[in-house]
Structure 1
Amino acid sequence: MDTIVGYLNNMFASLPRTEQMHKLKQELLGNMEEKYHELKDDGKSENEAVGIVISEFGNIDELISELGIGEVRKEELVPMLTEMETEEFIAAKRRSGLLIGLGTGLLMVGAGLLILIASLGENGFMSSVFSEDAMSMIGLGFLLVLLVPAIAMFIYSGMQMEKYKYLESGFHLPYHLKADIQQRQSGFAATYMLSLITGVCLIVLSPIAIFVASAFGEESASYGVVVLLAIVAVAVFLFVYYGNIRGAYQMLLKTGDFSKEKKEEDRVIGAVASIVWPLVTCVFLVSGFVYDQWHINWIVFPVTGILFGVFSSAYNILKGKDAA
């Protein structure tokens, strides 16, 4: 029987792995198994039964024609994912989330170190060794040093996910794989919800660090900003890492953020975000280096985040009305 299975695999090896072909292959395998067992019951030897089965079922072109399958339509020429491919994709998304989360965290830690060292310089720390400007340059150096591995993580993550770009053009999942991924997604839901709640609570509570630091004097407020950035870095890591895992399940199941409607919304929102956030970062750096407003310029990030959230929600509502 293994010979028949191997023969059938070879027959379909050169054909597109579509859902239609998968069903045809399973149907043929069932028919061939039935014929094989009939021949064995009739007293045929293993080799005789295998030879008769293979000779009777002919080649794949004849079978497709006889079964009325016809030509495979262009839109159906999408791959049927295997279990190994889905596992590799989920693992790649998990690694990507880890790298992007760590890279983003490094950037925020770098910004925190810049503010911390610059503030120490303003308050006379090591004034006998370094001037205030020198301390600012040291802080900038730390930021640039952390920027390098962060960028490397972003680039490496993007390169790793590049080989899965073909999934955006469409794919099929066998029923058993789809059921397994749905079950795993349900099991992961509690973990994702916990990470989301933890991240939101950290962000909401993070300004407390500034209030506490301010209680020790106005010059101490910048130290609170450093703590705030560190807390937000942890929250962002939780959002990115666990969000990527959830995104892998959603993409494979074509639900949530990866439904057709959501993809269109994300393209517009993503385009706006790619313009807004770099501008906000420029405002943050210019106001700090040029106008020395490190103690208050951090406010641009939460304010922009709130405004961007309002924009995203308004856009989604308007799109929903248009669709209705």
Structure 2
Amino acid sequence: MKHPHRLGYLLAALLLIYAAYRLPGLLPGDYVTAMYADSHVSLSVEEERALRERYDDNAGFPGYLGRLATLEWGYSLGHHAPVSGLILTALPWTLLLMGSAHLLSTILGFIAGVEAAWRRGGKLEKAGVGGMTILQGVPEIGSGVLLLMLFSYKLGWLPAAGGMTLYAELGPGARLLDLLRHLTLPLLTLMLAYFPGNFLLARASMVLVLRQPFLETARAKGLPPARIRYHHGARNVLLPMATRFGLRLAFMITGALVVETIFAYPGLGTLLFNAIAMRDLPLVQGIVLFSALAVLGVNLALDLLYGRLDPRTQRVGHVR
């Protein structure tokens, strides 16, 4: 059977669905406790019991599967809205932020890493490697807070929070500019977190490629350096870069949690943070399930993509 390991994706999906149902329920407290935590209202034992009976899901895992089968992801206790609608509302914001950060940091890291490897041994290359190694250890919360304090509170150049200016009557061009201004700080924070790893991976992979004899053959043919560098050399760096890109993209929701919370960006990370704070179990379950299925889907897409980037991976399925 060709690629028999793909049959495991069905089992993985079932396990992820069960984990999405079970793990959020292990959080301490519940929605009733969170709702009245900062309130001066005192509830009697009978009132607490009645509220918990109202909000608790007594259908169990079979009932949860039944709802999923009808494309019903539950109803948010805190937002009083369908979970699927809340996810679809927040998803474009996260896709815009995380997609832009991943794409830009991957492309720029790829080009910078290839150029650094081509010029290995120079002072600029050594300084770049050292700087990127240090920058890779800086957490997102650290760089995010520094950018927020500098460009928003100190200089006042960029907005401190949100995804757009609310209740403002703006034309299409002004609205686009407003979106980009709100996007800039969280995007820079994520790029500072992702760019060093992409740069170091591309450089290390390219250094290994430069030792291969086929590049000497390309030089002997008199090909231009740029063609040797990218057409013959850098194309062999695409596979590890695609792997890193896919894995980062798969965990985009959890990766956006810290940054979106710092800048109050209206994406899935902020939605998940607020849901956990409110102990909104149906919403937490929905976001966790969506994240898990996204991871599974990206891994499946990478599995299919590997065959195009490296035809040697297709031959594995034919080994008898």
User: Where on the TM-score scale, by shorter chain, does this alignment land: which range?
Assistant: under 0.3
Higher RCO (C-alpha 8 Å, min separation 6): 2
Q: Hey, which of these two has a bigger chunk of helix by percent?
A: 1
- Rg (Cα) greater in structure: 1
